[in-house]
Amino acid sequence: MVPTWQLRAAFARRLSDMYGTEVPAYTTLLEVAGQVNDEVAARDPDAGRFGSIARVTAERHGAIRVGTPEELRQAAQIFAALGMHPVGFYDLRDGDEGAVPVVSTAFRPTDPDELDRNPFRVFTSLLTTSDRRFFDAGLESRLDAFLARRQLFPPELLALAERAEEQAGLPESEAERFLALAVAAFELSPEPVDRAWYTELERVSAVAADIGGVAATHINHLTPRVLDIDALYRRMEERGITMIDRIQGPPRWAGPDVLLRQTSFRALAEPRKFREPDGSVTGGSLRVRFGEVEARGIALTRAGRARYDGLMAETDRLTGLRPDTDRQEVARSLWQRGFPGTEHQLAVEHQAFFTYRPVTGRPRDGRRPPADLTGLLTHGWLTAHPIVYEDFLPRSAAGIFRSNLTEDGTRDTELAGTPFDAHRLSEAIGRPVLDPFGLYAEQQDRSLRQALFTLGACAA
């Protein structure tokens, strides 16, 4: 029997191999990311603080885009077979950094041990065809009809996925078949693209065309994790690969790494066949996929996240007032003044999530542990270990989508959008969309309860 986590690890590996053959710049990216990680591991004794080097080196996130709730349910079934569950709700339809007609979630393992075994995650977006700001009623119904005719995932794949979920794994030969079908479902299809239909959708949004203009889905990007994203950025530019103009997320600064920093580059145009209005098939190219890389830090609590969002807004405001200033510099100085500068501070101010462990082998001086977290940490009763942020940032995600678009598309901002929230997305998927803050808090609280119990028992 091949257990769930091995299916997940094997799927991530095979998808990565497949994507490397489709997008050669991805292989360059992996090479540079690997070098940077080795260098950081060699120079920094703390390099494993946010996950073992083995985990980080194997770590990837993918992005896919689907057109209908049914396709989303089927994708969810495949991910469930891999031990990946929907976490977080992202609405990218009205970001200031450019709007895209999708709502999204991320499928990922939720159990800390499962994350350690293999943290593969897939950012998954659903086209919102009923959103009138993007699609009028006529286009909506033609789009829905087109999507209803296609089948992204073969029934055999879905049946195997169901079995894998039920049995928490698959026998060897079925596992092999499942993995082969699953990887194939995300390959770029050689089928000709209907030129007129694709172009019509592209006028609304390049993302709509990428999702609803073709008969199959494909992996949009696959993102490795790197321990020093600034070093990686420089090195990719030295290799002649033009990166987007900045690293998204928090600035590089003297304090702890928090949340997520990401950057990307546009991949080359890929050859695709087109069916022309007269029925002939011609050669052409599309430029819809790209490379992305990320660095991960500590998960923030709701309070920490609010502070983060406030600092980002303030950075925008100040750079808006003085466009000639360096955004990184502005952000850095705001952070220096406005954000806790140490992990200890983040912990005692409840701004970030940690797992707590009791310090064993303290001198037995008869003292009882203090009742508050600050006391427990400052007097050496507990140690705090950061919990890594396993999710995404809506603003960076919008930026990633946008960096990929040749044109902004058209959106009628006078009209109201279709209301959408985590609850409605849960109904569309047929599985609960979990709250990331809840997952981190649960992990933290469990460790704290256990640590306090051990300390109490020792002191008694």
Interacting residues with ligand OOG (CB under 6 A): 63, 65, 123, 125, 220, 262, 292, 392, 396-397, 400-401
Tell me whether residue 143 or residue 293 sits nearer to Ni ion (CB atom): 293
Is-contact 231 295, C-beta < 8 A?
no
Dig out the tokens for 332 from the structure. 């850095």
State in angstroms the smallest separation of the CB of 309 from ligand OOG: 16
Tell me whether residue 223 or residue 315 sits nearer to Ni ion (CB atom): 223
Name which of ligand OOG, Ni ion, none residue 355 binds, using a CB cut-off of 5 to 8 Å depending on partner kind. Answer: none
Q: Identify how many contiguous H helices and E strands the chain contains and give both numbers.
A: 18, 14
| Range list of H helices, 44-111 | 53-58, 69-81
Total residues binding Ni ion (CB under 5 A)? 3
- String of contacts with Ni ion for each residue 208-227, x by CB under 5 A: ---------------x----
Q: How far is CA 201 from CA 323, 353, 410, in A?
A: 34, 43, 10
State in angstroms the smallest separation of the CB of 291 from ligand OOG: 11
State in angstroms the smallest separation of the CB of 72 from Ni ion: 18
Tell me whether residue 183 or residue 211 sits nearer to ligand OOG (CB atom): 211
State in angstroms the smallest separation of the CB of 398 from ligand OOG: 8
Strand runs labelled E in 324-428: 354-358, 382-386
Q: What is the dihedral of CA 312, 390, 290, 48, to 10 degrees?
A: 100
State in angstroms the smallest separation of the CB of 380 from Ni ion: 40
Q: What is the dihedral of CA 135, 137, 142, 144, to 10 degrees?
A: 80
The residues in 292-311 that bind Ni ion, with binding defined as CB under 5 A, are 292
Rounded Cα distance between 184 and 171, Å, is 20
Name which of Ni ion, ligand OOG, none residue 217 binds, using a CB cut-off of 5 to 8 Å depending on partner kind. Answer: none
Name which of ligand OOG, Ni ion, none residue 222 binds, using a CB cut-off of 5 to 8 Å depending on partner kind. Answer: none
State in angstroms the smallest separation of the CB of 60 from Ni ion: 10
State in angstroms the smallest separation of the CB of 37 from ligand OOG: 19
Name which of ligand OOG, Ni ion, none residue 401 binds, using a CB cut-off of 5 to 8 Å depending on partner kind. Answer: ligand OOG
Name which of ligand OOG, Ni ion, none residue 447 binds, using a CB cut-off of 5 to 8 Å depending on partner kind. Answer: none
Rounded Cα distance between 387 and 399, Å, is 25
Strand order in the sheet with 270-275: 193-194, 270-275, 281-286
Tell me whether residue 123 or residue 153 sits nearer to ligand OOG (CB atom): 123
Tell me whether residue 63 or residue 259 sits nearer to Ni ion (CB atom): 63
Tell me whether residue 219 or residue 258 sits nearer to Ni ion (CB atom): 219
Helix (H, G, I), strand (E, B) or coil at 264: strand
State in angstroms the smallest separation of the CB of 123 from ligand OOG: 4
Rounded Cα distance between 353 and 443, Å, is 9
| Range list of H helices, 213-291 | 229-238
The residues in 29-68 that bind Ni ion, with binding defined as CB under 5 A, are 63
Q: What is the 3-state secondary structure (H, E, C) of 129-153?
A: CCCCCCCCHHHHHHHHHHHHHCCCC
Tell me whether residue 293 or residue 428 sits nearer to ligand OOG (CB atom): 293
Is-contact 153 218, C-beta < 8 A?
no
Rounded Cα distance between 84 and 298, Å, is 21
Name which of Ni ion, ligand OOG, none residue 402 binds, using a CB cut-off of 5 to 8 Å depending on partner kind. Answer: none
Tell me whether residue 118 or residue 404 sits nearer to ligand OOG (CB atom): 404
Element (H or E) spanning 263, and its range? strand 260-266
State in angstroms the smallest separation of the CB of 89 from ligand OOG: 13
Rounded Cα distance between 291 and 239, Å, is 14
Name which of ligand OOG, Ni ion, none residue 220 binds, using a CB cut-off of 5 to 8 Å depending on partner kind. Answer: ligand OOG
DSSP state of 110: -
Residues in the site for Ni ion, rule: CB under 5 A?
Answer: 63, 223, 292
